[in-house]
Structure 1
């Protein structure tokens, strides 16, 4: 009989013994029941509201530390107790075959137990978008960890004849191995020692694989641990064959066993120093560098420094994140081909670097409360990154690098938020800032041409004659320094009998200007920048030669990928809001902070009838009673080929404690939007696919009404998921979900030469509400009720309209500058021409909600989910990136660990899903019982036939 056949027969025999006794059934039932109880009750799966299986795998190292020894406790100890071990030791085959056979039987039972939990990921994938990579890695880690624990249990069982002693000793050894790398122990040591302890601990290695990164070092750790204890198991049993007298065979066995153990350990130590042997199996490769990062690294022309400031002693929840950051930063160095230099320092050990961090980079250590063996204290710890390139630098603190989710029944979950995005964004920013120091055309790939539609000097006023001569000389100098990426030409519209003039009037809406009212002499003076994709008109309202270079560079930056763009942001000020009561006024500080991270921001009031010439895009959020000058500013920005991004609705909601009020919020843009075919309904959209919200509920008791704050399924809080989030457009393609609060329906009448794209659409279960009260009311059962009207169907909530637009002010005089802005401005209404027709690159991006970006809504949603709700902000940033053709970070901005959430479900549905998993687990056990019974019947029939012969 071959050696493998012996191991297989031993495994089959032990498996039959398992199922013939209560051991297998108790193990399977306990394991399955414990895992389901942990997921649904201990970890509050539905309250946690994240579509992953972290709750299952988080407890797996502890659970297996108790259950695996329960399987192995009797394997060898009962053999000793019943004196059957001598029969095994006297067999003519190696003892290792019996060890492998028993190990295989235990491993098979563990695999069957893990299969009993398979309905959990299937259920999650059916109700939400599940990333299967970490799930597969988690099961692999569980199997490897279980094999290590089983080998430990077998070794301990081989050393005693008492199964209870075997159980207790095995559990103690497994728990000790788990505690080596757990925060309970590493928090008492400095970072260097803690790193070594995490490398030795079974739980920390398990977490590394379960997060979706299959590292060869982690795999070998478990395989090596299994090999060590199986070797010790074989050696412990082999000693039972020896006599008391020492012999060469005894020395041989000791040497072989020692060599095997030492090789397993040394290989593990050697592999620990070898980075890069890893496979990222997460969807979107969350823990690996993307092609976007590689492209930015290839653009580096000088060495770039990434320096990490990490304290030896820090908060226990932050300590495990430091090795992850270090590994990621090392990947930057390897991917850069020598362009990136990496340093890791502890400022406490280097006063000069600490002084530099404080004085040059403006960094400060953060205070954390920690406990050691002796006391609880507050330590000032560093958890910062600096990206330095040339004379430019960007800093990242722990507040930007980590994401915290407040757990329901446990300590908070702390993860790296999106470290690649944060680091790559910092690299992009320092690269762009460095380039903006004089390399204007470095980021322009397609040649850009300035076309000046300018009349002959005899038609121009003296001021414009001088201006023309000045810009001509400036254009000549700029073209010479552009390296062939910039050219210019002057076109006389009156040439060829005015043919060109008629063309630009019809195509661009460039109407003639007048030298003075009543003289009748007209002229043209328009400047445009063009490439293969877009046309941008330069502002021409001041005609100051000193401003031309600035205006030209601002326009050229819209064709470049190497400069920081400027976002003009218009939000209502407290003075403009006119709220009828104190408190609850919308503020947008989080929106401003988000934009500032990636772009230069200019706060616009629009009251002077113009938008800053530096603006690359105009963002108008929650506009309120905009006057003619503001509409004119928005209109002309669009007519010059710009992008206007609007978040507006006829209503806004104020939250103040337990008070919720729906207020009319006239934007002043209703007529202007209707002129361009965009109509926002006066109703609010309600949807059965909604998110929970802490809303004040009106409860009626007798003749009295009471308001109390409750967490309710709030249909005004629309939960958008693909395909409601357009999966084919870059703005929404990488957003897993989005919550839109108090949104109105949008209808669009697309004009000629316009393209319509729908970005946001509710579910088919949406309906409308025109009620002036959005506060839910409790019915007789205490459930919140809502009332609406109209047909249930999908409602459009966000669109892009791009193409040629006609100015609303074509048939009406533009507002006079003297009516707005600084009264000292010269009355130059003749020199401020109206642009009547936009180029094809102009676009309007419309989101029909005032509130989904304001601070009070974001904070309220964050209080429910336990994380910072940034989907709305990410949507806006994606829209800005796409509009400015700066889409390099779009694919990695929305990557995160807590952004895959469960869809809205009723309590009945949650209960049904939970009980369904219990039922499937019982069905699995019943199936195993049936298979065992059938196999037993078949074996009995076979034996009877054999006896009959």
Structure 2
């Protein structure tokens, strides 16, 4: 090793003793900075990663490393010093390793000079250092392979130009083997094999932040092969003119070199099946099977089938993603063991499989437009995954699996969209759907008590007497099925002087029921299920039907079960004809995402009741809610449910006429005020916001010219981690959320209320609010901001959670359902038919006056941030599909339903880590600072080299003086 280091130091001294090293470093740094800021437009990408730093590295290193290695042996041969080297007491292997380390050290110095770039990105956004470490390691390994190739070529000629060209050609060949330029000409299987041979595909794999032993060894094997050839080449030069004399020894060298090369190559094939030897060094280990996935796979009782449908011929941007999905699916097979069966098929190669995919699972090929050098065309290909469990199945298509972001010069960046989350949430859904069809008690781990607070039969209406008998029958069967998990306790609240009635009114808010406003008979028919501190009321079915009562009890039991699909009741506003505001908005993206993990039941709440099987009520953009709709929301909360509301006093329209806004009444104002909550009639403006393409007029030679500019729009509040609740499941995986035209939420402390307030989202400290309904900027009047700046600067609460006991808004008031019944009776009395028929349907209603402590109210101060039009607006501004607001709501739902399994992996995305909002001047400052650091780094290298050179000179002078003495 000392000999190797001495040779390396000698070569480095030769590098820095001439302009070669500085030309190399300057060229490397200059091209890198140019690609980073200009070609890949780092600030325009708005992503907190250093992918542009390594994007062009495989091509850049080909030329730079070839330029460094071209003189290593060629110059020795040309100048005649090679013969001298062959006579020194240093083996050729040590000479080769010394020169190799010198080349690698020069590349390492060049990479150190680029370190200010990732440091800058880390200061400007949430940088994941895993891919950064992987990128630098991959670059060193690639440079090592290219250096070994260059040294070998240099040893074969005494002409440096020939050495340069030869090295470039061989390195380019290794790069092209695995590039899309060549792989697109073949099918998927051949393309995958070629990708394994190319240097580029392996490089991309490591720069993702996954250190796979197969990829690392691939580069080491290239180094080993070409260093072996280099040593053998030097030995052959040593034999020159004496081949016949040492023929036996020469043959030994040939055999040894051949064996070394064969072993280096063969080990690649031996390691190929070993997929577990990998380390995921990304933050959160986004390329590894998470504990959440392992948990769901451990719940399997039946075989789970995961089948990938991938066409051999597909779009060039999708082809590199197929091996990544294949590796991930194999990990599912390893973790799931015998319970998970994974298969990968090409339906276009098997007519029976294709027919099954089309007819049984609705999987069809998708036409992709492709372009080659000579023509444009369309390729129909499959890019789907099937997950099947029992008789339940779910499918994923390329829209579920792929994420696209616009890049520089119109190029698209295509990455997998958190594939583990997509596959695992599908597994969860099919498992829960399958288990939901069985016995609910098989998923309840602790006993549950049914409490019935029922009046005696002589107080109950006749219909309820019959329902009471049906209840006994239902409970008897459920107890037999529960195997001790269901206990029943039924009591009469009006017995013993009504002591129990007073107790349940104070504890649960249950007040006596009536059948009409004029009925003096008061009775009780309340039911609830309880386990520990968890209480779930069982609503009385509106139809008073025995089957509906059984469904309500089973729905309540499911709230205590694990592994069953939850149900969300979703209210969205009805269309408002003649107006293009949120009344016409669509919420398809929201509903589609909610259906990924739950059953969704749309409701208009007109009946005054929330669907009985609902676990959570989501009210989006409420519009002129009447008393019955308000009563439905109120009583769902009183039963201990979770109500999530996205509302604002403003309705913003995104129509052909541009942005329009008007104030509107939600119907929730008094209801919220009674709970100490107010959504103010102002909108938040924040200098930390999203830029939008906005039409701007300017004067040019007396002519008014209109043009489109991307300008900051303060009504699109850009919330970053400093404005989010830290370490909360609700904001898990979110680095950014945009709240569109949001209103501040005020939550006041209420006396005698056992409640907890959680502040989820807040604006920046520089935000202000405005009552103005003018939401289009006026740059002539207000300057670059476009809007008047308010005086109430400070953080504004835009989303929060209130949890605990609530008082009903309808306490001491008659039920709106009974008021409606009374009006119907009056109308029916005036319009009886000739047959004397009238509506005699019994309506029973009561008001629950107080909620249990488990009740939750989640508020979002925007009525538009979940609309498809708003999501598309931000997507156009960011250049990628934007679903962060929907993810926020999904997180809030999972948290409230105590189903946190997918929270940890939902937010994983290549395009979720964004830079902090920066002005153009700030961006220019950081760019120029990076240039300055580059020049400063070169100056430091020059200074260090000068100091070391002078130190060596003094050393040699001292040695000479001692020799003379």
Provide, for residues 479-501 of structure 1, a one-character-per-residue CA deviation record: whole Å limited to 9, x for no partner: 21123322221122134432211
Alpha-carbon distance in structure 2 between the residues aligned to 1:548 and 1:229:
78
- Cα deviation for residue 273 of structure 1 reads 2.2
Instruction: Write the distance in 1 (CA, Å) between the matches of 2:407 and 2:661.
Output: 32
CA deviation string 1:833-861 (max 9, x = no partner): 11111111111100001111111111111
CA offset at residue 944 of structure 1? Answer: 2.7
* Superposed CA RMSD: 2.2
CA shift for structure 1 position 452? 0.6
Q: Paired residue for 1:512?
A: 512
Contact 1:654 1:660 in 2 (8 A): yes
1:693 to partner: Cα distance: 2.1
Residue in 1 that maps onto 2:316: 316
> What is the CA–CA distance in structure 2 between the aligned matches of 1:461 and 1:783, rounded to whole Å?
70
CA contact (8 A) 1:629 1:820 kept: no
C-alpha distance in structure 2 between counterparts of 1:709 and 1:322, whole Å: 39
Instruction: Show the 5 A alignment for 1:435-584.
Output: 435-514=435-514, 520-540=520-540, 541-575=542-576, 579=579
Q: Taking structure 1 as reference, are residues 85 and 566 closer, same or farther at Cα in structure 2, changes over 3 Å only?
A: same
How far did 1:781 drift? 11
Map of 1:837-856 to 2, 5 A cutoff? 837-856=850-869
**Aligned positions of 1:319-334 closer than 5 A:** 319-334=319-334
Query: Is 111-120 or 556-565 further displaced after alignment?
Result: 556-565
Question: CA shift at 1:872, angstroms?
Answer: 0.2
Corresponding residue number in structure 1 for 2:679: 680
**Match for residue 13 of structure 1?**
10
2:72 matches 1:72: no
8 Å CA contact 1:658–1:709 kept in 2: the answer is no
Mapped partners of 2:708, 2:954: distance in 1: 68
State the partner residue of 1:215.
212
Distance 1:891 1:277 in 2: 24
Offset, 1:552: 1.1
**Matched residue, 1:94:** 91
Q: Distance in 1 between matches of 2:135 and 2:73?
A: 30
Deviations for 1:160-207, whole angstroms, at most 9, x for unmatched residues?
111111111111111111111111111111011101100000000000
Q: Note the alpha carbon deviations across 1:189-240, whole angstroms, 9 max, x for none.
A: 1011101100000000000000011000000000000110011011111100
Q: 1:603 to 1:873 in 2, by over 3 A?
A: same
What is the match of residue 666 of structure 1?
665
Distance 1:819 1:295, change over 3 A: farther
Q: Say if 1:517 and 1:102 are closer, same or farther in 2 by CA, change over 3 A.
A: closer
Superposition deviation, residue 698 in structure 1: 5.9
> Which residue number in structure 2 is paired with residue 908 of structure 1?
921
Q: Which residue of 2 aligns with 1:415?
A: 415
Q: Secondary structure at the match of 1:337?
A: helix
CA contact (8 A) 1:513 1:833 kept: yes
Q: Name the structure 2 match of 1:876.
A: 889
**Paired residues of 2:779 and 2:787 also in contact (CA < 8 A):** no
Q: Secondary structure at the match of 1:600?
A: strand
Q: Is the 8 A contact 1:699 1:777 kept in 2?
A: no
Contact kept, 8 Å, 2:517 with 2:822, in 1: the verdict is no
Residue 744 of structure 1 aligns with which residue? 743
Contact 2:369 2:379 in 1 (8 A): yes
The 3 A distance-change label for structure 1 pair 82 and 851 is same
**Separation of aligned partners in 1, 2:261 and 2:410:** 39
For residue 904 of structure 2, the aligned residue among 861, 884, 891 is: 891
Is this contact kept in 2: 1:686–1:716, CA < 8 A? yes
Q: Distance in 1 between matches of 2:215 and 2:450?
A: 59
Contact 2:582 2:621 in 1 (8 A): no
Matches within 5 A, 1:52-451: 52-242=49-239, 243-245=242-244, 247-370=247-370, 376-409=376-409, 411-451=411-451
Cα distance in structure 2, aligned partners of 1:695 and 1:444 = 56
TM-score by length of 1: 0.96
Partner in structure 1 of residue 709 of structure 2: 710
| CA positional deviation for 1:448 | 2.1
Helix, strand or coil at the partner of 2:511? coil
- Per-residue CA deviation, residues 665-697 of structure 1 (Å, 9 max, x unaligned), is 321111111111111111111122222223344
Q: Tell me what 1:943 maps to.
A: 956
Deviation at 1:590, TM superposition (A): 1.3
Structure 1 partner of 2:831:
none
Aligned position for 2:588? 589
Q: Is the 8 A contact 1:537 1:641 kept in 2?
A: yes
Q: Tell me whether 375-384 or 854-863 shows the greater mean CA deviation.
A: 375-384
Compare 74-83 and 468-477 and name the one that shifted more.
468-477
Q: Distance in 1 between matches of 2:416 and 2:8?
A: 44
Distance 1:876 1:6, change over 3 A: same
Whether the 8 Å CA contact 1:187–1:372 is kept in 2: the answer is no
* Structure 1 Cα separation of the partners of residues 578 and 852 of structure 2: 37
Ranges in structure 1 where 5+ consecutive residues have no aligned partner: none
Over 3 Å counting, the alpha-carbon distance change for 1:829 and 1:578 in structure 2 is farther
- CA distance in 2 between counterparts of 1:71 and 1:920 reads 24
For 1:755 and 1:831, the matched residues in 2 are separated by 34
Where structure 2 has 5 or more consecutive residues not aligned to the other structure, the ranges are 829-837
Distance of aligned partners of 1:225 and 1:364 in 2 relative to their CA distance in 1, 3 Å threshold: same
Q: Cα offset for 1:409?
A: 2.1
Taking the aligned partners of 2:454 and 2:588, their CA distance within structure 1 comes to 44
Question: Taking structure 1 as reference, are residues 706 and 179 closer, same or farther at Cα in structure 2, changes over 3 Å only?
Answer: same
Give the TM-score normalised by structure 2: 0.95
Cα shift readout 1:771-830 (whole Å, capped 9, x = no counterpart): 221111224998442213123211111111111111111243332334999999957686
Structure 2 equivalent of residue 719 of structure 1: 718
Q: Write the distance in 2 (CA, Å) between the matches of 1:207 and 1:12.
A: 32
1:38 to 30, 35, 40: 35
**Higher mean C-alpha deviation, range 921-930 or range 764-773:** 764-773
Q: Kindly indicate whether the alpha-carbon contact (under 8 Å) linking 2:741 and 2:862 is maintained by their aligned counterparts in 1.
A: yes
Displacement of 1:891:
1.1
Cα 1:82–1:840 shift into 2, 3 Å: same
- Give the Cα–Cα distance (whole angstroms) in 2 for the partners of residues 335 and 936 of structure 1: 58
Q: Retained in 2: the 8 A contact 1:494–1:501?
A: yes
Q: Which moved more, 1:519-528 or 1:759-768?
A: 519-528
> What is the Cα deviation at residue 655 of structure 1?
2.2
**Structure 1 counterpart of 2:832:** none
Give the distance between the partners of 1:194 and 1:519, measured in 2 at CA: 80
Shift of 1:658: 6.6
Which of 206-215 and 698-707 deviates more?
698-707
Separation of aligned partners in 1, 2:410 and 2:28: 21
* Contact 1:755/1:803 (<8 A) preserved: yes
Whether contact under 8 Å (1:695, 1:711) holds in the other structure is yes
Shift of 1:536: 1.6
Which residue number corresponds to residue 920 of structure 1? 933
